[in-house]
Structure 1
Amino acid sequence: MKRLAVLPLALAAAFGAHAATTTRYLIISENQKQIGEQVVERLDDGLTKVRFIFKNNGRGPELTEQFRLGADGVMTEYSVKGNSTFGAVVDEQFSRKGDQAEWKSTSEQGRKTVTGPATYLPLNSSFEVVSMTITALAKNPGGKLALLPSGTLSQRELDQVEITSASGQKQTVRLLAQTGVGLSPSFFWATAGDQPRLFGVIMPGFANMLEEGWQAAAPALAARQKQAENKMLTEVAAKLQHPLTGLTVVRNARIFDSEKASVGQASDIYLLRGRITSVQPAGSPVREADNVIDAAGRVVLPGLFDMHGHVDRWSGALNMSTGVTSVRDMGNDNQQLQAMLDETAAGKLLAPQVVPAGFLEGESPFSANNGFVIKDLKGAKDAVDWYAERGYPQLKIYNSFPKAILKDTVAYAHSRGMRVSGHIPAGLRAQEALDAGYDEIQHINQVLLNFLVKPDTETRNLNRFVLPAEKVADLDFNSKPVKDFVSYLAKKQISIDPTLSAFAFLKQRDGDINEPYVAVEAHMPPDVARGFRVGTMKIDGDAQLKRYEKSYAKMVRFVGILYQAGVPIVAGTDDIPGYTLHSELALLVKAGLTPAQALQVATRNGARYTRTSHDRGSITSGKLADIVLVDGDPTKNIEDVRKVAAVITRGFLIYPQEIDAALGIAPFVIGAPQVIKAATPVAAAYGGGNDGARARIEGSAGKHD
């Protein structure tokens, strides 16, 4: 899904003459609907042409691409045109002549002198570029390939299996893991032999792309890929999660009180078997503690909540390294999520604790393909039963849900003890969804569309982004309809999940860094940081840009208006895990909240609106030991929330700097609090907490490798 979201593709159509070979790939969703295709034509003159389209949830990329390879098997020329997922124009070229390489796109341009094999990494491309790298890497005994503008791509084989096509043909395919692009490995299935190429891509819980005629092999390939991924993930979890066995005391901690939104006097926190057993004044006597951690006067937060995630097996490291210990999943493949919950509970997955929201969509050409897609009230009730039986505290309704059965479905979910939230189904305004019983609304655009749509307005396509970008600039927040709506939200205590960080793309111009990424760009690997400057919306000229900027600024301001009116706000991302939660809190401060109030939203409100206040949201005796040690004081400067020195959750101690090192991220904190074992005098714990050069005693990464 990561590749599909970032790498646009194009429509299959007739190609020119002189074709040598043509390969067609189909993209099939988890519910067995075709949602895209890639057609690759390799011409006799060495030119490769690709056309690809991918559409899901009313949006998707379309590109036409062509490239030519040199004698070393990597690109000497490349071009791609089309539109990205949200409609931005894609126009990108690359060429290499001898040792001189040049590239240009709508967001960047550059040149570089290079020697030896090196391939350009397009900002927007089809999967055929992956196919080219598979072939090139297979020729390199070291399994590495230099990337332009920078970086190195690596590849290793994890598995191979013989499969059978619909016509009875057999072949052997190999599972490859590529690293060096993005923040997690990418998995691809390739053909065997001396000239391997891409055979398919399995995206667990979302879709698969396989050569036409081989779709029946998808379940077997998915199972083998999951087995290989699980082995890698188990190794990562074992390396980066350090068990805290026995009684642990966190000394000299300045605890953030999430009820009062303030930092108290220094305290000692006692932890046992993943729970807080006591909170005492700093310096209280410790009797036979197995581990002592000196917080050294750091501010200690309750574990943060991301209230709008879509978790996968590789996103947990990003959440853990940023202090996010709980994520409300707002839409996923049901079986995939259930498996991840089991793996997390068993300690086999480096992941936050997940509070699942059941995803419920209606059938239409615009349907998303998560959770359950239903036709009628019976189907909706069956889905609600499935979720309720598995302990889901909330239901999320999506864009194509049939409005005629909305009220009855919400009432049934309430009867099963579930909260109900979501997007606003097409043909309705937000007020009508609230009248039907909604407890919460996702996304600031869905809230403000209440004042922008008519009954026949189509909101399942890009209109749900374009209309707010165009019209909120002129919306009068002092008008009676707006004030009445805000009063209604406050009176009914309807919570709002604005995801301001996710919607900053509305006003991003190609070449400018998107606002939520400004604070993290310098810390990220070059290929990731490069993507932060790629615009997503189609913005025609300065006048439209200024209008979109004004609309977005008013969206941020409106969240502040809601908060001041007493409307409950929760903090969610729907974007890069962890890092954009910090950005969301910064935007809440920009909206008018104090830094301490923003932290309260990410802790107390997170627990309150996931119905987990009994064991999360505050550092209190009896609750889960989900605690985050930060440098600086985020109650005064919200940007200090990025300076996470250590995280404790589920009975494990986790060091963000270790995760950062594994992912190629420059750490926000150098040094980590020291762990003292029982055999060491407790007084040694006060030897100075922030010195990263000081060796940690057993419990550090070095002692657990």
Structure 2
Amino acid sequence: MARARSARLKLNKRRINLLTKRLAVLPLALAAAFGAQAATTTTKYLIISENANKQIGQQIVERLDDGLTKVSFSYKDNGRGPDLEEQFRVGADGTMTEYAVKGNSTFGSVVDEKFSRKGDQAAWKSTSEQGEKTVSGPAAYLPLNSSFEVASVAITALTKAPDGKLALLPSGTLSQRVLDSVEVTSATGQKQTVSLLAQTGVGLSPSFYWATTGAQPRLFGVIMPGFGNALEEGWQSAAPVLGQRQKAAEQQMLTDAAAKLQHPLTGLTVVRNARIFDSEKATVGQSSDIYVLRGRITSIQPAGSPTRDADNVIDAAGRIVLPGLFDLHGHVDRWSGALNMSTGVTSVRDMGNDNAQLQAMLDETAAGKLLAPQVVPAGFLEGESPYSANNGFVIKDLKEAKDAIDWYAQRGYPQLKIYNSFPKAILKDTVAYAHSRGMRVSGHIPAGLRAQEALDAGYDEIQHINQVLLNFFVKPDTETRNLNRFVLPAEKVADLDFNSKPVKDFVAYLAKKQISIDPTMSAFAFLKQRDGDVNEPYVALESHMPPDVARSFKAGTMKIDGDVQLKRYEKSYAKMVQFVGIMYKAGVPIVAGTDDIPGFTLHSELALLVKAGLTPAQALQVATRNGARYTRTTNDRGSISAGKLADIVLVDGDPTKNIEDVRKVSAVITRGYVIYPTEIHAALGIAPFVGEAPKVIKAAPVAVTYGGGNEGARARIEASAKKHE
């Protein structure tokens, strides 16, 4: 379950996988406001999934003879997706003077947004906000939910801007630069040259668009590697070459970023005066010195112990040092790595991706070309249906399921994830075969089954708190491949008696069988998201985020009709959090995953674990020790110990007492590099969470004898370090 902020951000920033075909043409409710006119030109964009190579949505753009543009936009991803109707006009500078959109967002919330500019006065109103501003010069309005055509307007307006920059409303600045150009050929033999553009200033990563060339360039298409593309009808054959050229240009940007933000630690490094979090005992030890060489911890000694010829010295200055954090529910892309690393997340379990894209990212990370955490891949397995998710392998019978499992096992995937449309008739045999290949099995609960039945078939883990609690609500004919899997828990958990025998028996079974649960509470807070409010997982982030990202935190997600329903959904969500605590206290293994904004919402997930009843130290244990246990990486990760990978996170404050301090990451060591979150945040327009970070001091070779005593050795090291600062 991927969190949707808006159609535009979801398609362009989070690179969702678009999977089913449907165009719902909504009534043109705005026609009266703008006036219906005959269309002069129509451009149709087809949204095609890459893996299945089928149409999953479309965008129809009508440019009328009076300057009005109408857009119908729709797609469906795994039983959900937006339906939007837009109308707008543009002024002489190419920016919109009037804009309106109606419809529904990805998870069904009402979309109703308007903007107008008359002279220097701009005003806007949506279901979550309204405002006005005096502005001079060109300025582009950024809707919360929109089609790709809004990006097309910006492309044209930016071309007219002398410095390639455009003010954004309500705030911010949009920049654009040309990365590449290529000639493409249509199905009918037409040729044209299109350019690859990178836009920055919206979201937490660049947006890539292919545009026509000439005096009035406009959108030609969008390539979303591993997921699909949206191209003008008739030009779909251009997708492969555009994808190759875009990947090369994007990779160069990522390689440059990795070289700038990853600082290599060559030779022996000592991290001095570190208070190490013991993830087995959930306690903090006495101040220690940690020795790191070639990406591994070679030794841990009491602070001030003698050191011979250290090349680098990092003074933790009494900071608490955590093992690298685990996010056990990610969907990694090439740009999410910076967010993870800046928040201390050094390992991510990928829970569903395009197989070829993920393998390429693993290669790029290993080669040091990608700023990214270490990824533990889970193989994605889905069945054929109108609701199918299009990650990994989509199969129709047991033979295809076994072939997919072989593919994953041969590439070292330690886990299999089964999804909503998987054929329940072959579930038990599929799980048994995956176990025979040495893989753990987890997932959503296939439609028509309860969680208990999936466990009886051999599941080792369940993803998402809604999938756990649906166990008490679904019947064999309940459809859970659409929004029902969110609406049912939101409606019914409020009345679920946790002291009832069925609930207690189920929790006891989970504990007895040691079934791990990946609740992703942070992601499911959207069930109670009301327009205009900042939802719980984002309260601590809002003031740090770029304006457009912070603004999106106030947009509703579900369709919630009035205060009575809102209170019910709030109660249901509160009980979901409570149930996680009940499971933990009963001995059910809990893991920390996000399925949301990378890195930052792992911290929010840990805060929700504390709200569920865990101590802050226990929550940190879940994100370290449990992360390693349930990715089968305890030999290398999960604790700060000699011989293990040097995945080390230096934190200001004391997150074992106040879990919010886990957000104060001052430095991260991983894979032989030191990374400073403040540098990453500055590059992304994020306000820092910490002050000055501990720097690497290049120490001159110093031979210290063991006869001088700890205090003498420490004094000589400090003197040498200061001399060479």
Measured against the shorter chain, the TM-score band is over 0.9
Instruction: Letter of the 2:301 partner, please give it.
Output: Q
The equivalent residue for 1:186 is 207
The equivalent residue for 2:14 is none
What's the CA shift for 1:3?
A: 6.8
CA 1:473 to 1:225, structure 2 compared with 1: closer, same or farther past 3 Å? same
Instruction: Letter of the 1:252 partner, please give it.
Output: N
- Matched residues in 1 for 2:257 and 2:660: separation? 29
- Matched residues in 1 for 2:309 and 2:483: separation? 61
Task: Indicate conservation of the 8 Å contact 2:311/2:701, yes or no.
Answer: no
SS at match of 2:128: coil
The equivalent residue for 2:47 is 27
What's the CA shift for 1:684?
A: 8.6
- Matched residues in 2 for 1:436 and 1:11: separation? 38
1:11 aligns with 2:11: no
1:231 aligns with 2:244: no
The Cα offsets for residues 611-654 of structure 1, whole Å up to 9 and x where unpaired, read as 00000000000000000000011000000000000000000000
1:615 aligns with 2:628: no
1:544 aligns with 2:557: no
The equivalent residue for 1:68 is 89
Gaps of 5+ in 1: 698-705
SS at match of 1:208: strand
The equivalent residue for 1:43 is 64
Give the one of 329, 338, 345 matched to 1:317: 338
SS at match of 2:111: strand
Give TM-score scaled by structure 2 length.
Answer: 0.94
SS at match of 1:679: coil
Task: Map residues 15-414 of structure 1 onto 2, 5 A cutoff.
Answer: 18-30=38-50, 31-414=52-435
Task: Map residues 528-543 of structure 1 onto 2, 5 A cutoff.
Answer: 528-543=549-564
- Matched residues in 2 for 1:627 and 1:676: separation? 17
The Cα offsets for residues 270-295 of structure 1, whole Å up to 9 and x where unpaired, read as 00000000111111001001101100
* Aligned residue pair count: 692
SS at match of 2:631: coil
- Matched residues in 2 for 1:4 and 1:396: separation? 26
CA 1:684 to 1:594, structure 2 compared with 1: closer, same or farther past 3 Å? farther
The equivalent residue for 1:416 is 437
Task: Indicate conservation of the 8 Å contact 1:10/1:50, yes or no.
Answer: no
Task: Map residues 556-635 of structure 1 onto 2, 5 A cutoff.
Answer: 556-635=577-656
SS at match of 1:229: helix
SS at match of 1:615: coil
Task: Indicate conservation of the 8 Å contact 1:674/1:696, yes or no.
Answer: no
- Matched residues in 1 for 2:570 and 2:489: separation? 11
The equivalent residue for 1:497 is 518
Task: Indicate conservation of the 8 Å contact 2:274/2:319, yes or no.
Answer: yes
Instruction: Letter of the 2:95 partner, please give it.
Output: V
Report which stretch shifted further, 161-170 or 496-505: 161-170
- Matched residues in 2 for 1:380 and 1:560: separation? 35
What's the CA shift for 1:120?
A: 0.7
Task: Indicate conservation of the 8 Å contact 2:23/2:57, yes or no.
Answer: no
- Matched residues in 2 for 1:674 and 1:222: separation? 40
The Cα offsets for residues 337-378 of structure 1, whole Å up to 9 and x where unpaired, read as 000000000000000000000000001010111100011111
The Cα offsets for residues 72-114 of structure 1, whole Å up to 9 and x where unpaired, read as 1111100000000000000000000111000000000000001
Task: Indicate conservation of the 8 Å contact 1:85/1:536, yes or no.
Answer: yes
- Matched residues in 2 for 1:684 and 1:441: separation? 54
SS at match of 1:581: helix
What's the CA shift for 1:674?
A: 2.5
What's the CA shift for 1:71?
A: 1.3
What's the CA shift for 1:233?
A: 0.2
What's the CA shift for 1:33?
A: 1.6
CA 1:445 to 1:508, structure 2 compared with 1: closer, same or farther past 3 Å? same
SS at match of 2:333: coil
Task: Indicate conservation of the 8 Å contact 1:504/1:552, yes or no.
Answer: yes
Task: Indicate conservation of the 8 Å contact 1:496/1:567, yes or no.
Answer: yes
- Matched residues in 1 for 2:278 and 2:193: separation? 58
Instruction: Letter of the 2:643 partner, please give it.
Output: G
- Matched residues in 2 for 1:118 and 1:229: separation? 27
CA 1:142 to 1:219, structure 2 compared with 1: closer, same or farther past 3 Å? same
Task: Indicate conservation of the 8 Å contact 2:9/2:203, yes or no.
Answer: no
Report which stretch shifted further, 12-21 or 164-173: 12-21
Identity %: 83
1:652 aligns with 2:652: no
CA 1:13 to 1:514, structure 2 compared with 1: closer, same or farther past 3 Å? closer
Task: Indicate conservation of the 8 Å contact 1:12/1:37, yes or no.
Answer: no
Task: Indicate conservation of the 8 Å contact 1:294/1:686, yes or no.
Answer: no
Give the one of 449, 452, 458 matched to 2:473: 452
- Matched residues in 1 for 2:295 and 2:381: separation? 34
| CA RMSD of superposed structures (Å) | 1.7
SS at match of 2:449: coil
- Matched residues in 2 for 1:26 and 1:524: separation? 33
What's the CA shift for 1:56?
A: 1.0
CA 1:21 to 1:141, structure 2 compared with 1: closer, same or farther past 3 Å? same
Task: Indicate conservation of the 8 Å contact 2:5/2:555, yes or no.
Answer: no
Instruction: Letter of the 2:424 partner, please give it.
Output: K
CA 1:370 to 1:73, structure 2 compared with 1: closer, same or farther past 3 Å? same
What's the CA shift for 1:686?
A: 5.9
SS at match of 1:501: helix
Instruction: Letter of the 2:328 partner, please give it.
Output: M
What's the CA shift for 1:7?
A: 6.4
SS at match of 1:660: helix
What's the CA shift for 1:676?
A: 1.5
Instruction: Letter of the 1:71 partner, please give it.
Output: A
Task: Indicate conservation of the 8 Å contact 1:477/1:483, yes or no.
Answer: yes
Task: Indicate conservation of the 8 Å contact 2:309/2:700, yes or no.
Answer: no
Task: Indicate conservation of the 8 Å contact 2:93/2:138, yes or no.
Answer: yes
The Cα offsets for residues 665-702 of structure 1, whole Å up to 9 and x where unpaired, read as 00001101121112287759769x9xxxx9995xxxxx
CA 1:542 to 1:267, structure 2 compared with 1: closer, same or farther past 3 Å? same
Task: Indicate conservation of the 8 Å contact 2:109/2:559, yes or no.
Answer: yes
- Matched residues in 1 for 2:42 and 2:723: separation? 59
Task: Indicate conservation of the 8 Å contact 1:292/1:685, yes or no.
Answer: no
Instruction: Letter of the 2:68 partner, please give it.
Output: L
The Cα offsets for residues 384-409 of structure 1, whole Å up to 9 and x where unpaired, read as 00000000000000000000000000
Instruction: Letter of the 1:219 partner, please give it.
Output: P
- Matched residues in 1 for 2:430 and 2:717: separation? 56
- Matched residues in 2 for 1:467 and 1:420: separation? 25
Instruction: Letter of the 1:502 partner, please give it.
Output: A
SS at match of 2:431: helix
- Matched residues in 2 for 1:332 and 1:696: separation? 47
- Matched residues in 2 for 1:171 and 1:92: separation? 36
Instruction: Letter of the 1:487 partner, please give it.
Output: A
Instruction: Letter of the 1:11 partner, please give it.
Output: A
The Cα offsets for residues 493-544 of structure 1, whole Å up to 9 and x where unpaired, read as 0000000000001001000001100001000011110000001011100000
What's the CA shift for 1:487?
A: 0.3
- Matched residues in 2 for 1:476 and 1:292: separation? 56
